[in-house]
C-alpha cells in the first residue's frame, strides 16, 4: 500500500480543527485551553509564587517551572498511569526550554512562575498543544513576552511529509517519523525540535518549512483568542 491519502481525508498540509480559549480557570493568574483535533490541553499559570529550596531563587529573574501531565482518562484506550513519569518529566523540561527564549521574568525575581499543563484528551501532538496552551496562559497572566510561541507536530510517512499528525498516523507501521517543532514567527526562531524516526536532510528541510506554515496558522488562532477575551459581549 502506498500512502497517498491521509486517514482522515485531510490534505498533506492541512491542520486539524484548531480552537483556543482564554481564562478557563478563574483562580489562576492566567489560563488557556487549546484544542487541535481531538487533543485538548489546558494550561494554568500561577505567578508569582514563593520558590523553595532557597538556593533555586535568583535575585535577577524569576524561575519558570512547567509541569506536563496527562490525566488518567485522557488516552484512547488504556488508562494512563497517574503521577510523574520519565516521559512527563522530560516533556516538562523541553516545554520549559521552548518557552523560555521569549519570556522576560525580571519582574519575578526570587519567585517562581508555575505553569501547569493538563492534557484532558490526547490524540498525538500533546507536547505541541501543551506549548500553545502554555504560551497563551502566560500572555493572559500578564508576563512580559517578546512573542507568542506556536507549535505543531509534522510527520514523515513513507516519502510524504504531513502536517499535524494524529494518533492513527503516528502508529503507522511502514516507516514513520514525527517531529515536534515550536516556532516564534517574529523572532524567526525554532525553540523546540524533537525528532523520532529516520529522515534525510532534504526531508528535514521540508519538515521545517511545513512546520513554519502550520505554526503561522496556529498563531492566528492564538491571537484571535487573546483578543476575544476583551470583546464586548
Partner 1 sequence: MVDGVLVLDKEIVVPGQELAEGMDFLPGSNVLRDGNKLIATKLGLVQISNRLVKLVPLVGGYFPKKGDMVIGKIASISTSGWRVDFGWPFEALLSIREVSNSYIPVNGIEDMIKIYNFDDAVIVLIINVFGNKIIDVSTKAPGLRKLGPGRLVKIEASKVPRVIGKQGSMINMIKEYTNCKVLVGQNGLVWLSGPDIESELLAVKVIKKIEDESHVSGLTDRIKAFFEEKK
In the numeric block, the cell 519582574 is attached to 107
Q: Which is nearer to partner 1, 51 or 70 (CB)?
A: 51
226 lines the binding site for partner 1 (CB under 8 A): yes
| Identity of the residue, 1 or 232, whose beta carbon is nearer to partner 1 in the bound complex | 232
When asked if residue 59 is in the footprint of partner 1 (CB under 8 A), the reply is yes
**Interface residue with partner 1, options 49, 65, 160, 212 (CB under 8 A):** 49
Using CA atoms, how far residue 171 sits from 5, 47, 110, 125, 220, in Å, is 16, 38, 44, 13, 29
Q: Is 160 in the site for partner 1 (CB under 8 A)?
A: no
d(CA 152, CA 36): 9
C-alpha cell at 216: 503561522
Q: How many residues bind partner 1, per CB under 8 A?
A: 35
Contact call for residue 130 and partner 1 (CB under 8 A): no
Spatial separation of the C-alpha atoms in residues 9 and 41, rounded to whole Å:
24
208 binding partner 1? (CB under 8 A): no
Straight-line distance from the first to the last Cα atom of the chain, in angstroms, rounded to the nearest whole number: 52
30 binds partner 1 per the rule CB under 8 A: yes
Nearer to partner 1, 150 or 166 (CB): 150
Cβ atoms of 43 and 20 closer than 8 Å: no
Distance CA 213, CA 54 (A): 43
Residue 147 within binding range of partner 1, rule CB under 8 A: yes
Q: Interface residues with partner 1 (CB under 8 A)? A: 29-30, 47-51, 59, 102, 104, 107-111, 139-148, 184-186, 222-223, 226-227, 229-230, 232
Amino acid at each position: 500500500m502506498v500512502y497517498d491519502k491521509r486517514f482522515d481525508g485531510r490534505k498533506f498540509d492541512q491542520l486539524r480543527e484548531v480552537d483556543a480559549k482564554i481564562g478557563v480557570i478563574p483562580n489562576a493568574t492566567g489560563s488557556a485551553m487549546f484544542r487541535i483535533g481531538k487533543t485538548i490541553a489546558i494550561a494554568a499559570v500561577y505567578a508569582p509564587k514563593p520558590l523553595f529550596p532557597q538556593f533555586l531563587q535568583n535575585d535577577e529573574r524569576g524561575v519558570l517551572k512547567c509541569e506536563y501531565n496527562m490525566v488518567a482518562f485522557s488516552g484512547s484506550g488504556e488508562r494512563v498511569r497517574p503521577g510523574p513519569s520519565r516521559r512527563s518529566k522530560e516533556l516538562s523540561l523541553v516545554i520549559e526550554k521552548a518557552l523560555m527564549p521569549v519570556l522576560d521574568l525580571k519582574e519575578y525575581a526570587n519567585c517562581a512562575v508555575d505553569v501547569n499543563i493538563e492534557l484532558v484528551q490526547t490524540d498525538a501532538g500533546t507536547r505541541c498543544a501543551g506549548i500553545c496552551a502554555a504560551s497563551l496562559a502566560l500572555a493572559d497572566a500578564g508576563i512580559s513576552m517578546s512573542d507568542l510561541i506556536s507549535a505543531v507536530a509534522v510527520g514523515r510517512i513513507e516519502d510524504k511529509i504531513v502536517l499535524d499528525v494524529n494518533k492513527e498516523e503516528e502508529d503507522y507501521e511502514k516507516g514513520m517519523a514525527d517531529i515536534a517543532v515550536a516556532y516564534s514567527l517574529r523572532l524567526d526562531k525554532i525553540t523546540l525540535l524533537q525528532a523520532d524516526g529516520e529522515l534525510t536532510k532534504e526531508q528535514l528541510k521540508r519538515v521545517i518549512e511545513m512546520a513554519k506554515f502550520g505554526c503561522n496558522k496556529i498563531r492566528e488562532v492564538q491571537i484571535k483568542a487573546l483578543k476575544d477575551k476583551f470583546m464586548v459581549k
